[in-house]
A and B are shown apart, each in its own frame.
Chain A
Amino acid sequence: MNILTGLLNGAISGATPILLAALGGAFTFYAGVFNIAMEGMMLMAAFCAVWGSFTFGSWLAGVLLAILGALALALIFIVFAVWLDTDEFVTGIALNLFTLGATTYLLRQSFGVKGVFAGPGIDPIPRLHLPLLADVPLLGAVLSGQNLMVYAAALATLISAFLVFRTRFGLRLRAAGYNAASLDSSGVSSARMRVYSLLLCGVLCGLAGAFLSLGYVTLFSENMSAGRGWISLAAIILVNGNPWGVAIISLLFGFADVLGLLLQSYQVPSQFTAMTPYLATLAALYLYARRHRKERSYVNR
């Protein structure tokens, strides 16, 4: 029983950063922005979170700064890709590279260390103990006592699904991606919708990055997003941006993460177990491609 709850808890905390970033990417996906800057936004947020938490001694300041850091990148993306009409793919790659350089530089500049910054001065995001749920026999150990950001991610899934499917904003957002010209001709600026989607993506990636460096672990290391932004992009593509689908896929990736840790106890070298989330992404892409190929051949017939 303990092993099972341990597995579930591990999967949930592995899934949280991917889920938050993928929800952000889902907004831009619906708005028709080819946004691959989640990786960079997460990394910048992870750094800002540690910096804020260390400097002001409060995790709340860390989270706020993380959101601001990711929003700053979102603004750069908006200036280049929406306003100046630069290629979105190139802008995203350039932003990711810029962030990798900037965080490495800032790490050295602010803390005088290379590689990793950890220390007792960093205030982590607290865990939340839910009074009633904790007493539920089986689920209590999983549902209660998670990191605050885990509940935030669950809430964000609900809100995202509501925003996208049940509000006028969501309708316009999807219209901007589906047919920008007809949205423009009905008097709503599709460029503005893209801007909103990128800002939302910034906020959510900010939370994802804050969880990475103040919840999942309490430290900042160079390139600590480690491809999670790309995995979240894959998750979005797999379910066409649907927030519920994104949540399920993120949990599956979380399980792949835990599976890796589990394999390590069977003498599999850690270098191989660390590959599991990425191999799982490849497997998921394979299944997706196969399903689509079937659909396509069905249509052709």
Chain B
Amino acid sequence: MARVLNAALGVLIALALGALIMLAQGYDPLASYAALFQFSLGSPYALATTFKNAVPLVLTGLSAAIAFASGPVNLGQPGQLLMGALAATIAGLYLDLPPLVMIPTLALLAMAAGALWSGLAALLRQAFGMSEFIVTLMLNIVADYFTLWAITYPFKDAAAYSPMTPPIATSGWLPEFGDWNSAVFWMLAATALMWFLLARTRPGYEWRIGGQNSLFARLGGCPVDRNFILVMLLTGALAGLAGGLLIMGGPHRFLRGLGANYAWDGVMIAIVANNSLPGVLAYGLFFAAIQTGALGMELITAVPSEIVLVLQGALVLVIVASREALHQLADRLAARRQAQRRAKQAPFLESVEQP
């Protein structure tokens, strides 16, 4: 209950802040927000687009949330996403199997590439004690340049002027049902599966305990080091899958700047959701909605779509701070109640002790 209240409060304050910015620059905030949600939720097609755009956000969000909840500070989702996307693209260029085999193959390869990239960070941590926090950040930038090189030289579409690969084989394209891209089902299935894994199975329990108190987990007999590697591989695979689905469901080729839009959104979503997986799904959809509606808003009221980035940043700050503030308020109220109870009992205790 408190969580829902906190989320609603945070969203409202962030939207109010956005409205203030728009007012200060002479735009009409009400009309802008109306356009924003009209173009993201207002029609069946808009809703389907929002869900499709949520796929990379939710998957990288799951990756970050599972990592943060289990201990490893995996900030490498942007790089793992890129490597996954590259693997799916390369395989899609050279393989051509029946769709029923092709799609799972590409998805698995994307997951493997993401896991390879996060596994590299896990290996450096386990073998040499290098903090995965900075290593994953550096590997992000390395992956960024590496994929740029791959689409500029070896896998470049000869007919294109800017760096991009040719389209992958059509058997690897994710099928669409009306307006709905089947990437959405992958996203929902992954969320459900990950929630089950984390909340209802023994490894998930071990991971969460390890995230809360690593020493306790070790003393309780959890293989902490092995769990660290497992979580890194799993979260890398999730981010890689996000990249693969991005290619298979969207442009069907690796374009320059592919990952830039989703670079940090996963981390951001995990933070506002406080690492809860249903929360990741909810915030992922919300972020996708405002990102999807932004272009429509720009068309109608001329507010630059980049304001969404400001809204997202403000949302993260407000929600995190209000979460802490609510906690502190609750603590203070509880302390005061207890003090009052003590004050009431105190005269009685004194009278007992006196004689």
**A-to-B contact residues, CB < 8 Å:** 76, 80, 84-87, 90-91, 93-102, 104-105, 107-109, 226-227, 230, 233-234, 237, 269, 271-272, 274-275, 278-279, 281-282, 285-286, 289-290, 292-293
A269 and B317: CB pair below 8 A?
no
For the complex formed, measure the closest distance between the CB of B211 and the CB atoms of chain A, giving whole angstroms.
14
A84 touches B145 (CB 8 A): no
Provide the residues of chain A in CB contact with B312, threshold 8 Å: 97, 101
Q: In the assembled complex, which residues on chain B have CB atoms less than 8 Å from the CB atom of A84?
A: 321, 324-325, 328
DSSP majority for the B interface?
A: helix
Q: A94, B324: Cβ atoms under 8 Å?
A: no
> Contacts A80-B321, A86-B320, A86-B321 known; A274 to B145 CB distance under 8 Å?
yes
Residues on A with C-beta less than 8 A from B30 are none
- Chain B residues within an 8 Å CB radius of A285: 130-131, 134-135
Question: CA separation between A105 and B298, bound complex, in Å?
Answer: 13
Residues of chain A lying within 8 A (CB to CB) of residue B146: 271, 275
CB of A140, distance to nearest CB on chain B (Å) = 36
What residues on A are CB-neighbors of B16 within 8 Å?
none
List the 7 shortest-distance A-B pairs measured between CB atoms, nearest first.
Answer: A101-B309, A98-B313, A271-B149, A105-B306, A94-B316, A289-B129, A271-B145
Task: Check if B128 sits within 8 Å of A97, measured CB to CB.
Answer: no
Q: Mark B9-50, 1 if CB is under 8 A from A, else 0.
A: 000000000000000010000000000000000000000000
- Looking at the assembled complex, report how far the CB atom of B329 sits from the nearest CB atom of chain A, in whole angstroms: 11
Q: Is B180 an interface residue (CB 8 A)?
A: no
Cβ of A286: which chain B residues have Cβ within 8 Å of it?
124, 128, 130
State how many angstroms separate the Cβ of A145 from the closest Cβ of chain B. Answer: 31
Chain A residue at minimal CB-CB distance from B313: A98
Within the complex, what minimum Cβ distance (angstroms) separates B60 from chain A? 13
B339 interface contact, C-beta 8 A: no
Q: Any chain A CB within 8 A of the CB of B333?
A: no
B137 proximity list for chain A (CB < 8 A): 227, 230
Instruction: Report chain B residues within 8 Å CB of A104.
Output: 306, 309
From A272, A279, A282, B149 is in contact (CB under 8 Å) with A272
**A292 CA / B128 CA spacing, docked (Å):** 10
Report whether A105 and B310 are in contact in the complex, using a CB–CB cutoff of 8 Å: yes
Given contacts A105-B306, A269-B149, 18 further A-B contacts (CB under 8 A): A80-B320, A85-B324, A85-B328, A86-B320, A87-B324, A91-B320, A93-B316, A94-B313, A97-B268, A98-B310, A100-B309, A101-B313, A230-B138, A234-B138, A237-B131, A278-B141, A282-B135, A282-B138
A107 and chain B: residue at smallest CB distance = B306
Select which of A95, A109, A271 is within 8 A of B317 by beta carbon.
Answer: A95
On whether A90 and B271 interact (CB within 8 A), knowing A85-B328, A105-B306, A286-B130, the answer reads: yes
Cβ-defined partner of B313 (8 Å) among A86, A87, A97 = A97
Among B129, B130, B316, the residue within 8 A (CB) of A98 is B316
B residues 106-149 touching A (CB-CB < 8 Å): 124, 128-131, 134-135, 137-139, 141-142, 145-146, 148-149
Q: What is the CA–CA distance of A212 and B33 in the complex, to the nearest angstrom?
A: 36
Residues of A within 8 A of B149 (CB): 269, 271-272
- The 8 listed contacts between A and B (C-beta, < 8 Å) are A76-B317, A84-B321, A94-B268, A105-B306, A107-B306, A269-B152, A279-B138, A281-B138
CB of A271 within 8 A of CB of B328, answer no
Q: How far apart are the CA atoms of A216 and B145 in the complex, in Å?
A: 21
- B residues near A76, Cβ cutoff 8 Å: 317
Please, how many angstroms separate the alpha-carbon atoms of A243 and B309 in the complex? 35
Q: Tell me if B153 is interfacial: C-beta within 8 Å of chain A.
A: yes
From known contacts A93-B271, A109-B304, A275-B142, infer whether A292 and B129 are also in contact, taking CB-CB under 8 Å: yes
Contacts of A281 in B (CB 8 A): 134, 138
Asked if B188 is at the interface of the complex by the 8 Å CB criterion, the answer is no
Q: Take A281-B134, A281-B138, A292-B129 as given contacts and tell me if A272 and B145 are in contact as well, using a CB distance cutoff of 8 Å.
A: yes
Any A CB within 8 A of the CB of B264: yes
Q: Is B267 an interface residue (CB 8 A)?
A: yes
Q: Which residues of A contact B194 (CB under 8 A)?
A: none
Residues of the B chain whose Cβ atoms lie less than 8 Å from the Cβ of A292: 129
Q: A97-B264, A230-B134 are in contact. Are A87 and B320 (CB under 8 A)?
A: yes
User: Once the chains bind, are B307 and A105 in contact (CB under 8 Å)?
Assistant: yes
Residues of B within 8 A of A85 (CB): 324, 328
CA distance A269 to B145 in the complex (A): 10
With A84-B321, A271-B149 in contact, do A109 and B309 touch (Cβ < 8 Å)? Answer: no
Q: Which residues of chain B are within 8 angstroms of A227 by Cβ–Cβ distance?
A: 137-138, 141
Which residues of B from 319 to 334 have beta carbons under 8 Å from A? 320-321, 324-325, 328
Q: Which single residue of chain A is at the shortest CB-CB distance from B140?
A: A227
For B220-242 the 0/1 string (1 means CB < 8 A from A) is 00000000000000000000000
Complex Cα gap A85–B321 (Å): 8
Q: How far is the CB of A259 from chain B (nearest CB, A)?
A: 15
Is the beta-carbon distance between A94 and B320 smaller than 8 angstroms?
yes
Check if A237 sits within 8 Å of B268, measured CB to CB. Answer: no
With both beta carbons as reference points, the residue of chain B lying nearest to A282 in the complex is identified as: B138
Across the interface, do A102 and B310 meet the contact criterion of CB distance under 8 Å? yes
B145 touches A234 (CB 8 A): no
Chain B 291-309 near chain A by CB (<8 Å), digits 1 or 0:
0000000000000101111
Decide: A278 and B142 in contact? CB cutoff 8 A. Answer: yes
Question: Which chain B residue lies CB-closest to A104?
Answer: B306
Contact yes or no, B128 A289, CB < 8 A: yes
Q: Does B314 make an interface contact (CB < 8 A)?
A: yes
Check if B148 sits within 8 Å of A271, measured CB to CB.
Answer: yes
Q: What's the Cα separation between A33 and B313 when bound, in Å?
A: 21
